[in-house]
Every structure is written in structure tokens, then in C-alpha cells.
Chains A and B, each alone.
Chain A
Amino acid sequence: MADAVENKKNIAEGVPTVTLTIDGRETTVPKGTTVLMAARGLGIHIPTFCWHPKLKPMGSCRMCYVEIEKMPKLQVSCALEAMDGMVVLTDSDLVKRGRRAIIEFILMNHPLDCPTCDKGGECDLQDQTFAHGVDDSRFDFQKYRFTEGTEGSTFDDLRIGPEIVLNRNRCILCYKCVRANKEAFGEYDLGAYERGNIMEIHRAPGRQVDNPFSGNLVEICPVGALTNTDWRYKIRVWLTQTTSSICPFSSSGVNTLLYKDDHQQKIFRTTSRPNDDIDDGWLADVTRYGYQIATSPDRLQTPLIKKDGQQVPATWKEALEIINKRLNEIKDKKGRVCIGGIVSPSLDNATLHSFSKLIRVTLGSNNIDYRTQYRMLPKEPENVYDAMSARSFKISDIDDSDVIVAFGSDLVKEHPNEYLRIRKACNFHSASVYSVNPYRVKSADVARREMIYKVGTEEVFLNGLCLAAIEAGMAEGGDLKEKISPSTAAEAAAICGVDAEHLKELAAAMANGRKVTFIAGELVSRSRERLCISSALANLTRLLGLENKGQVSILPHYANSFGAGKLGLLPQPPEGIRNALTELWGAWPEAEPLTTDGMLINMKKEEVNGCIALGCNPVMLYPDREFARESLEKLDFLLVADLYETETTGLADVVLPLASWAEYDGRYINLEGRVQRANRALKPRFESKPGYEIVEAIAEQIGDKLYESSDQCEQEISRLVESSNVQPLPDKYFDVRPAEEESDEEYPIALFVGDDPHHSGHLTEKANSLFNFCGEAYIEMSSELAKKLDLKEGDSARVESKVGKIIVPVRISTTINNDVVFIPRNFSSTTVTALLMRKKRTDRVKISKVVN
């Protein structure tokens, strides 16, 4: 009785409820709840195989049998809706007998593979047989074996994807993998075939299971039918220890669990640590396999110093002495402003903050930036772009949004977890999703309407939305109409190349939506016109009052991008942060601050002579490779700290080995502003050191220690994080006058550059498994375009721009549209940034076939 009252309190007003009795305890649950969930609410555990909290129930395994009064047979509780007055028994003799029979049935054809099966020890089937089965079998016949396609494999294993091995003999046909693939990820490369005894889960004909979420299929498999190659035959689960960590590759800060062995000092796998606020328990493959960057043998082993043009191994002491000498030389000769600091936004708070203090206080320079991969960064402090990209945003708020707009973002590649959230909102809450992009993307498959605007017309599209809203009388425009061009929605639609009706539909959806989530992605933040687009977005936000009934944000891209902003690692941080930092440090450098852009320009002009690049690789990531290289080559002194040898470390005078995220305790701030901790799983490999230790060592060598203890640093960080609030948007409309888009007859095709779905940043190609998914750059184009250019899948294409050319294999995509191509930027073997020019808004290339 008490349970029922207690439960009722947690249910919102006005929700219809039902009251039922489970094992003699009465409970009240919202209408539509399944019996299984009602029992879980009471803390009664009902065993399941095929049920998964994030998937729709199916009832295929029948393990969740319960007995219900007045029902003649046992019922599957996971698919049975709770009714008023139901009397449920979850542990009666009949139920026990039913479960025993199901276990016996499932084990009938199960091979005796436990000794070789990697699931052994964490297998649902083992656990439930042990808990609910008997230790004797009546099945005394030959077991059925699936041998088709597995010639040469003793245990009938079948590799169905780059990282997945399928063993159909072990499968208990719970369909969790197929359902998750379909429902949660929208992928169809796995299916169930045949019927009865010979029913099997198999990849779709001619397909590989290589979707960017495929690792989850292995994790949810209750038996050892699906195993990943990284964990396969490496170690037994009871010999490993776990460390809770977070994903260092995504800005969502997905929670993970690292399985490691202290004895071998090795991480063996990553699994999810379900956190419903962030990740729902799904991991993208880059998160799942990315841990391999920490354990690769290619890691930098010792510091390197340049002697006679050659980089030679050195001790930390030697390296630090040289750093001290050279930095002091520059300071004495040229003054303090001649030193710059570029840092990776994937590093933890302590590293970022101490680095900021090193540059600003110890070295007295104001040149510091964490944005390496963006061109033509704005110089003005408190600009609208910075404001728009640091809005408050909650991932879990996507769930109950009824209108979701993904603008300028290839979600699967940039924000896989947010994409899954959107799918969930669409599947479970029937949200209307609008995908607005310059080219067709995979994530548009859940969209009610996909809109393709012309390349380089983002701000026109947003203006068009404002105009459509005003024209339809959905919002009071005030003076907005005068401040933007063009002047009518129809005109804007024509410029963007979208249907005016669609524009109106989207405007209406946003204006009338109960809760709106507006996500803008990399195509906005990478654009040269990011200020203009952000202003247009700010106008739209203000016009429709989106901040009051939802969330609008330009999502940051890297694990700690948001944190870097909050800690003031910008050349000109917002007033509040700047004041807080000045107060903490008692000093603020006077010099003119420079962005990454500015630093590179001034390096070229030899006005910046020394640079410290911490964990980043500007040569590969800056969208103008030659420019970045030439600039860095002109430096008197370049210090780079990284995990691996990269193109930038090749130019460095001193290279320091950096510890990976798994090798120290670090805190990261995800895109929601949530501070999360990644715990140390391993000792730093070889002689590498965590970022903040490197910074401290440099500071100690040059002058004073930055902090007495790491606690002091943490205290400063927490004060900063507390003090920096969300910047309010100014109470006015911005002028948005779209620039004329230049076109070039010679280079007709627009090029988009981004992450491959299986990669992130410049390090993940060192992860073996991710390399197996995709190991080299490619050019993605539509089949029509390929036909026009006389190219086939796998052909080598020469891609040329004004500044460079690369040769990459062709990959035909069914989604991309005809006038654009996509090349991933994650591969050091083919750096696509060689094609880019920093001053251009749209990168245009021409493509020809390479004839052997």
C-alpha cells in the first residue's frame, strides 16, 4: 500500500494511472507502463534476454514470464501493458517452471563453447542458466551447426564487419542487435533470415556491418554471438579492472568504462556507462575503439630535440633546459608578445588552465587560442559567434522536444550521440525533425522535411526563416526587416534554392512548437562567415523567442571545447572571465591578443617567433595547409607536445611526449557545461607526462611554479566555472547582409571537409580498429557526379584546387547531392587541408580521373 502511495507521488498531475498488484505489493503506474517496468519500479527483478531499456519491447525470448491471475497461460511481462486490478506473480512455481523450460529450450542448440567464448563470465545466458536453470540436460542429440560461409573456421566464426565476428551457433535469437540497429541507429546492415531451427542473424546480403554504431551491437548481445575483434581472445573479463572515464573525442562527454589489466598496463576495451542524461548507454565506434590511441606502440617515447636539423631523443632535463634557453632568448630579443600558444580543446581543464597561466603570466603573452581548425576567426571580444556557441544546452531536453532542427551539421559525423537522441525523440515521442544542410546527410533519415540550401547561403536561409515568420504574422518583427536582406521570404528561398513553402513550414513549426531544439553544427562554426550566420541565428532566436521554449546552440566539437571557452583560452575572453582571471592571477598581459589566424599571419611576418603547440596539429588541421606550414617553419622556436609524431612535430625544435587522457585524472566540460571526470586507468606510457605536468615543468624551468599543488589549480578552475554564466544575447536585432558568393568556373565543385564517421581529430587513425573501419582518405560523391566525371567506386581521383592537389580513391555515396563532394580530414597520409584556402568561404575544386 505504501508503495502505491509513494509511486503515485512521482507521477505528474493529470497522467492517467493504473493500479496493480505484483507479488502481493500494490503499485500505481502511468497508463501504458509494461508489467516488467512496474515490477522494476518495485525493485522486483524479472530476468530478460531480449528486453532493452532503450528499445521497444519485442517478447521474443519469453524469459520474462509472469503468472497473472485469471489468465490461463504465462505472459511475457516485457510486452504486456499493466492493467487496473491485475494480480501478478513473478516468482511462483509455475513461473519458475516456465523459465526453466525456456532456458532448456534456448540451450538446446547452444554449442559447448564457454571455454572459448569471450562472453564467458559476463554472459547473460550463463548467469540466467545459473540462476534459473538446472544443471542437467535432456538433450542428447547432435546440435545444429551453422557452417555456411565459415569454411576454414573451427568454431564457425564469421567476420561480418571490420571489427565484428558473428557466431550463429551461439545466437539465442533475441533480435536485440537487429532492433537496436534499426530503431536506435537507423541502420539496416544486419537482419534475421530463415525460420525455425535454421533461423539466423546475418549481415544483409553484400553488406558489411560497419555503421558508426556497430560496436553497440556487440555490447548488447546477451551471449557471445557477436564479439569485437579488439576484445576477442585477449583476456578474461574477471581478470580485468574497470575505470570510469569519458570519451575524449566527442563534445557530449559520453560516459565510458575502460576495462584494463594493471599487470599488463593495457586497456582492453571500452564499454558504455549508461548515463541517461548524456548518452543513453550508446557509444559511437570512435568512442568505443578510440582507447587504442593510448596503447599503440607508435607513441612518442622520449622527448626529442633538434640537433643539426635532426630530431634526436633526449632526456626531459635536456629538453626543458633548451626550452628555457630558447624562450628566454626570444623574450629578451623581441619582447613578450612574440610567443604564441595553441592548445588542443581535447585536453583536460587543469592542462588548459595551467597552459593559459603559463602563456599569460609566465610568458606574458596574450596570444592563446584553442581553435586550430577554423579559418578567419573573429577578433572582436564578446562577439555574437562566441555567445551563440556557448548557449546553455541540455542533451536530455532533445527527448521531449517536439520540433528539432539540425542546421548545417552532419550529425552522424559530428555529434553521433545527439543524432541518436533525435532518433529517439522521433521514434518514441513523434518529434518533427527538420534537417537543413547544404548537402544531403545520413542523419536526415529521421527528418520530416530535409532542406538542401545552396552552398554558402546559410545566413540567407536563416533570414528567410525570419521573414517567413514575420510575413505569416507569427512574430512581431520590429525593425528586423530593415536590417536584413533580402526583403522577402520568397526571394530568400530563391537564393537558397529551397521551396518557399518549405521555408514557411519550418518557420511555422518553430513558431508554434511547444519545445524547440535548434542545433547548428560545424558548417556554421567552420564557415568564414560565422559572425554573419550567428547574427542571423541570434535574430531568429530573438524573433521566435526560442530561448524561452527550447534551446539554440552552435554545438562545440571537441571534448573540452566548451571548457576551453569557459576557462578563457580565447585571445579575448568575455569580460566576466577576463576579470575573474585577472583577479586570480593579479595580472593581465597588455599586448594585442592574436587568434590562431593572427598568430600564423604574424609568424609568417616573423613578428611571432616562438610557439608552444600543446596536443594539437595545426599543419594538418588548419584549413590552409601550406600557409600553416610556411608560418610554422619561419618560427625561431617551436615546441610541440603530442602523443604521436605528427606533421607539426616534424617542424618542432623540441617535441615532448604527452600522456593520453586515460593516463591521468582529468576533468572535462561537455557541451552542456557539465564537469565530468576521466579517471586514470594506466601509468603514462613510456616517458610521457600529462599536460599539466608538462606545463608545470616548463614554468618551473623558466621561473616560478604556477601552482603549489594541483588542488590550487582545481580551485581556480571551479571558481572560474562557477563565475562564468551564459552570456545574455543583446536585446536588439543584428544587421545581416549576406556577402555575395563568389563562384569560379574553373573549379566548379564545392568541397566539404569534416570527420569520417569513424574518426575524430588527427589521432584516431592510430587506433587499429578505427583504422580497420577506414584507414585512408576518400572522396565521397554521388553516382551521377561520378558518372559525369567517368569515375567508379575505388578509382583514384585527382582533386585540385588553386593551391594544391591530392589523389584519393572515390567512394560513391547514395546520400550526397550532385554538386558537392566530401573528403575526411583525419588522415595524415592524405591531408585534405592542402586543398583549402584560408580566405575562401566555400572551397571549390575540380576533379579528374587518374589514368594509370
Chain B
Amino acid sequence: MEQKTLTLNMGPQHPATHGVLRVILEVDGEKIVKATPVVGYLHTGIEKTMESKLYYKAIPCTDRMDYLAPMSNNLGYCLAVEKLMDIEVPEKVKWARVCLAELSRIKSHLVWLGTHAMDLGAVSMSLYAFREREMIVDIYEACGGQRMMTTYIRIGGLAYDLPPDFEKLVRKFLKEMPARLDDYETLLTNNQIFIRRTKDVAVISAEDAINWSLSGPMLRGSGVKQDLRKDNPYSGYENFDFDIALGETGDAYDRYKLRLEEMRQSLRIIQQAIDGMPSGPYRAHVPGVVLPPKEDILHKMESLIFHFKLITDGFKSPKGAVYQGIEAPKGELGFYISSDGTNRPNRVRVRPPSFVNLACLPVLCEGSLISDAVCAIGTIDIVLGEVDR
């Protein structure tokens, strides 16, 4: 009898695809022969939109790419523009940014944890993860007034100064979080159901991971020690003491442990940041690029003119191109901005970690069972907003 494979369509409206991802599975019985991800269902043209906007007006666009970690996106974009404009931000801004970016790492990992565990059957996990996420969202709300689309990190600093209760909120979070992480471990780490669904599933070797140019937990899960925070420190990460979590076998279980460890390391960084937060201005003083203080706008003619021109016309960037990569929760998030000397970027290209990591889905799925495809998608930790942009 002739052997035939069956083509099975998964998504784009499948709850386990975390959005509108479509995967075409070629199955031989219960075994996956080939898995082809199809992207583009959430294409919003964000890169193009950013090109048509003044530099500062593109920040809200970055929020909407990886909406689970908006602060990281803000940070990546602002660092890129600051590099282009050659702006040095005050120390306080650097520390605050590190603090916020690490919070967003925990936030992103919590959502990943909740949804991934839920995909594999552990429903209560998602409730707990979202409960803890709420604390971070509250901190964001206190900072920028927005819970998800923060737009808090700006070119040359922050939108406003850190709120007075920032330290209190963060310390409360730092106090409560480690115990919660322990709870998660109790729930999942030794849970035989979870282990059987994840151990030796979606395995990728270190060599493959490098060849597929993976980054973030996907790469470190296979034991490759690569982290931009250490390798190419930005925003003052060199001042912080933390370890890079590593996996060994490169399976989904390893990556689960690694992400939990990353959250612990993030807590360490946040602790250091909040303890050592320097005082000072929340914005760099760069006339003609950074908005003057609101107080001056009401009383000083020069400041009013600068404010007016910056809002209506923005600043002109020097000709050239910059690339700034940061270690986002999902991997290396890079912003490439090429400028033709006008007040709008000539081209913005985002290196989205989700998109690049998703490319290895065929490798992860090959030879596994259909139900393991769900685990493979989950373990990559994709956000379709970022994949499709």
C-alpha cells in the first residue's frame, strides 16, 4: 500500500497558537513529518508607519509590537535613536530603564508561563501568573498612566519622573515575588504531567540553534551562553551583578527552568537597581531633541519655541544608520534606523526575536506528535504582534 501523509491545518484561529499563527502540519499518522508556520495574519505595517512619523511619534508604535513587554521595545527604539542622535542620558534614567526593562522581562515570562502551562493542561498556573503580572502592570500604571501600551521611555529619558510611590511598589513586588516563583516550581517542576509533556520535546541542539540564529531563552536553553546584557552591555547593564541562566539539553523543560531562573535573576537586577537608584533629572538636556521641561514652556519664550518646533516638526537627524540590539525577554530585539537627514526615519527595520525564533518551528516539531506541536509553539514564546509587525 502506498504511504501517504495527511496535511493538517492548525490555526490561524487556534487558541494554542497564541494569536493568529497558522501552521501547516504534514502528518503521518500521529507523527509530524513537516511543520510550516505561515505568518502575516496580523500584519500592521508598523515599520512603514514608523517611517512616516516623526521620531518621537513612533514610540507608541513600538508598544504595539511585543505588547507583553512594551518597555523593552520602547527601550530598544529609544536607545537606537539616542545612538543616532548621540545623546547621553542621565544615570538615573539608565537605572530606571534597567529596572523597568527587567520588570517587563518578568511580565513577559509570566504571561508565557501562564499560557504555556495552560496549553499543557495546568489551568490554575495561568491564574497565578496573571495575578503576579497585575503587580507589574500596576507599577506601569503608576509610572506612565498606561497599563499595557506604556510609551513611558522616551528619546533622551522618560516621559515623566518616576512616581513617588515607585520604590514602594517595586519593593513590595520584590518581597512577594520570590515566594510566588517557589510556588510555581512546586506546581510544575516536579509535576509528572508537565515533565512528560515537556521533557525531550521540541529539542534543538546548540549547533542548530546557532544556525537558525535563535536568541534569548531559545538559544540559552541549548546551552549557548549568549546574552546581550553581558556581551554588549547597554543602558548601564555592566553595573549590575547577575548570572546568565543556561539550559543543557535544549528541550522545552530546560527552557521552562531557564525562564524561571531568568525571572529570579531579573529580581536580583531590580533589587540592585532600586537600591542604587541615583537621583537626578529624568531627561537629558539636549536642546532641540528632547522636550524642554514643562515648567519652562509656561514661562520662557525660548523653551516654548523649542517645544513648539519639536512637537510640530521634530528634530532633524544626522545622515547615517544605526543598529541597536537589546536583550528583550524573547531574545535579541534590534532596531535598525537609517536616516537621510530629515525629521523622519528613512527606514526602520526591526529584528524581532519572535519572528526569528519561530523559524525553527519545523526543526522543533519534526518527528514529534501533533500534541507536541502545541508545546513547541508555546516554548518558542511568540507574540504575533511582533512576528508580523
Contacts and interface: CB of A to CB of B under 8 A. Distances in A.
B305 A136 contact: no
A137 B303 CA distance: 7
A114 B296 contact: no
A133 B303 CA distance: 10
Contacts of A112: 298-301, 304
B288 A130 contact: yes
B292 interface: yes
28 contacts: A107-B301, A107-B302, A112-B298, A112-B300, A112-B304, A114-B305, A120-B312, A121-B312, A121-B313, A125-B305, A126-B305, A126-B308, A129-B309, A130-B306, A130-B309, A135-B288, A135-B292, A135-B296, A135-B303, A135-B305, A136-B287, A136-B296, A136-B302, A137-B300, A137-B302, A137-B303, A139-B300, A139-B301
A281 B308 CA distance: 28
Contacts of B298: 112
A538 B292 CA distance: 70
A112 B301 CA distance: 6
A127 interface: yes
Contacts of B287: 134-136
Interface in A595-621: none
A124 to B, nearest CB: 11
A136 to B, nearest CB: 6
A133 B287 CA distance: 9
Interface in B319-366: none
A136 B308 contact: no
A114 B304 contact: yes
B296 A130 contact: no
B301 A137 contact: yes
A110 interface: yes
Nearest to B300: A137
A136 B299 CA distance: 10
B315 to A, nearest CB: 9
A367 to B, nearest CB: 56
Contacts of A114: 304-305, 308
A126 B301 contact: no
Most A Cβ at <10 Å: residue of B287, B301, B306: B301
Most A Cβ at <10 Å: residue of B292, B298, B308: B308
Contacts of A110: 301
Interface residues of A, number: 22
A172 to B, nearest CB: 12
A482 B154 CA distance: 90
Contacts of B296: 135-137
Contacts of A125: 305
A136 B301 contact: no
Interface in A52-111: 103-104, 107, 110-111
Contacts of A111: 301
B306 A135 contact: yes
A47 to B, nearest CB: 15
Nearest to A236: B312
A141 to B, nearest CB: 11
Contacts of B299: 112
Nearest to B288: A130
B303 A136 contact: yes
Q: Would you call the interface of chain B mostly helix, strand, loop, or mixed? A: helix
A120 B292 contact: no
Nearest to B297: A112
Nearest to A111: B301
Contacts of B309: 126-127, 129-130
Nearest to A130: B309
Nearest to A131: B288
A627 B140 CA distance: 83
Interface in A127-151: 127, 129-130, 133-137, 139
B312 A133 contact: no
B304 A134 contact: no
A239 to B, nearest CB: 10
A110 B302 CA distance: 10
Q: Would you call the interface of chain A mostly helix, strand, loop, or mixed? A: loop
Contacts of A133: 302, 305
A104 B313 CA distance: 22
A293 to B, nearest CB: 31
Nearest to A103: B302
B305 to A, nearest CB: 5
Contacts of B301: 107, 110-112, 137, 139
Contacts of A129: 302, 305-306, 309
Contacts of B300: 112, 136-137, 139
A683 B305 CA distance: 36
Contacts of B312: 120-121, 238
A354 to B, nearest CB: 41
Contacts of B292: 135-136
A377 B298 CA distance: 68
A37 B157 CA distance: 42
B308 A134 contact: no
A196 B288 CA distance: 31
B243 to A, nearest CB: 43
Contact of A120 (B288, B303, B306, B308): B308
A262 B225 CA distance: 57
Contacts of B288: 130, 135
Most B Cβ at <10 Å: residue of A103, A111, A133: A133
A529 B305 CA distance: 63
Given A114-B308, A133-B305, A137-B301, 17 more contacts: A104-B302, A107-B301, A111-B301, A112-B299, A112-B301, A112-B304, A115-B308, A126-B305, A126-B308, A129-B306, A133-B302, A134-B287, A135-B287, A135-B302, A137-B296, A137-B300, A137-B302
A135 B304 CA distance: 8
A449 B323 CA distance: 72
Contacts of A137: 296, 300-303
A772 B303 CA distance: 39
A130 B311 CA distance: 12
A120 B313 CA distance: 11
A457 to B, nearest CB: 62
Contacts of A126: 305, 308-309
A127 B310 CA distance: 11
A114 B305 CA distance: 7
A127 B303 CA distance: 13
Nearest to B296: A136
A134 B296 CA distance: 12
Nearest to A104: B302
Interface in A194-251: 238
A824 B113 CA distance: 85
A134 B302 contact: yes
Nearest to B303: A135
A130 B303 contact: no
B273 to A, nearest CB: 30
A285 B313 CA distance: 31
A136 B298 CA distance: 12
A120 B312 CA distance: 9
Contacts of B302: 103-104, 107, 129, 133-137
B97 to A, nearest CB: 23
A91 to B, nearest CB: 16
Nearest to A107: B301
A120 B306 CA distance: 12
B298 to A, nearest CB: 8
B297 to A, nearest CB: 9
* Closest 8 pairs between A and B when the two form their complex, measured CB to CB: A137-B300, A135-B287, A135-B306, A130-B309, A129-B305, A107-B301, A137-B302, A114-B308
Contacts of A103: 302
Nearest to A129: B305
Contacts of B306: 129-130, 135
Interface string B274-304: 0000000000000110001000101111111
Contact of B305 (A130, A139, A238): A130
Interface string A539-567: 00000000000000000000000000000
Nearest to B302: A137
A121 B304 CA distance: 12
B193 to A, nearest CB: 60
